[in-house]
Amino acid sequence: MSDTSASFDYRSMFNLDGRVALVVGAGSGIGQASAQGLAAHGATVLCADVNLANATATATRIQQDGGSALGGQASALLLDMRTSSQIAKGLQDAPPIDILVSTPSINVRKPMLSLTDDEFDRIVNLNLRGTFLLLRHVAKGMAERGRGSIIVFSSIRADVVEQGQSIYAATKAGVRQMCRALAAELAPNGVRVNLIAPGVVDTPLTKPITSTPAWNEAYATKSALKRWAQPSEMAGAVVYLASDASSYVTGSVIFVDGGWTAVDGRYDPPL
């Protein structure tokens, strides 16, 4: 194979001009930061969330800052990924999607033997089943068009666990393997599928931890960087996986965990 690197335009690797990105969970936290990061690099972003008001706030911020660092165009839509009909309804007027970012998940922090049937179902129905439904709906169009980048948020909990994380961790490990299989299945169609595994990120969902001083400090000092991540620190990996900079990357997991999984240690959280 001939070397074409000399003629490659390295400056355009992260350019997302003309691409449509669907960010599910864009109303807050990592999803919001992902939407802003993609917009900053030229993507038109569909800010989807089960909370339409929050999704609208994210889209409005991107629109208002369109001439500054954020750049790009954005709109909001209501999307509940827990049912196929709600996904279809939310995306019925959406343009063809080039980039999908899926961030939503929930946990019920309890010992496994104390979890109820309903709590088990709540976790699995969103984290695993909901991700499956979303992927099935969006990836079909990508495969038909012969292009696309799918980015799903897993977690370090697919690798390392602690008390109160049993079913959550199981769903994150399940999502990882599901996406790897999808990456193999869609590669012939020009669609890439990758995952991001964050460590501890300061978002509204982690407020119960950050508001407990001992727990907050233990998590902050567990990683090599000795601090929590901010949602904006997840956006770089999202933009990379969405762009041509990662054109030979599929079926991979990018750890954005500050070295958490490289450093041993433990803390017994209150349950």
From 168, 219, 240, 248, active-site residue = 168
Q: Whole-angstrom Cα distance, residue 95 to residue 199?
A: 33
Q: Are 131 and 236 in contact, with CB atoms under 8 Å apart?
A: no
Q: Identify whether the C-beta of residue 103 lies closer than 8 Å to the C-beta of residue 153.
A: yes
Pick from 106, 247, 122, 213: which is nearest to 169 by CA? 106
For residue 154, is pLDDT > 70?
yes
Question: Helix, strand, coil proportions of the chain in percent (round to 5)?
Answer: 50, 15, 35
DSSP state of 59: H
Which domains, ranges and CATH numbers included, belong to the chain? Answer: 15-202+231-259 (3.40.50.720)
- pLDDT band, very low/low/confident/very high, at 266 (cuts 50, 70, 90): low
The span from the CA of 55 to the CA of 50, in Å, is: 8
121-133 residue pLDDT tens: 999 999 999 999 9
pLDDT in tens, 168-225: 999 999 999 999 999 999 999 999 999 999 999 998 878 888 889 999 998 998 899 9
Q: Shortest CA distance to 102 belongs to which of 65, 63, 132?
A: 132
Known catalytic residue: 168? yes
- Any alpha helices (H) in 84-165, and if so which ranges? 84-90, 117-124, 131-145
Q: What is the pTM for the complete model shown?
A: 0.93
pLDDT at 70 over 50: no
pLDDT given at position 69: 45
Q: What's the rounded mean pLDDT across residues 84-113?
A: 96
Burial of 116 (0-12, 13-18, 19+ CB in 10 A): exposed
List of E strands, 137-216? 148-153, 191-198
Given pLDDT bands bounded at 50, 70 and 90, which one contains residue 267?
low
